[in-house]
Amino acid sequence: MNLVRCKLTIDDHELDTYVARTAEQRALGLMHRAELGANEGMLFVCDECAVQRFWMKDTPVALSIAFLDEDGTILHMADMEPHSLESHSCEHEVRYVLEVPQGWFAERGIGAGHQVVGPVFLAAAPAELGGSGAEAH
Q: What residue spans define the domains of the chain?
A: 4-129
What is d(CA 112, CA 70) in angstroms, rounded to the nearest whole number? 14
Report pTM. 0.86
Q: Which residues 6+ apart lie within 8 Å of 22 measured at CB?
A: none
What is d(CA 121, CA 65) in angstroms, rounded to the nearest whole number? 17
| Percent over 90 (pLDDT), the chain | 78
* Domain 4-129, classified CATH 3.30.930.10, yes or no: no
Amino acid at site 4: V
Q: How far is CA 111 from the centre of its chain?
A: 14
pLDDT digits (tens, 9 = 90+) for 79-111: 999 999 999 999 999 999 999 999 999 999 999
* CB atoms closer than 10 angstroms to residue 25: 18
Q: CA 123, 127, 132, 134: dihedral to nearest 10 degrees?
A: 20
pLDDT digits (tens, 9 = 90+) for 42-64: 999 999 999 999 999 999 999 99
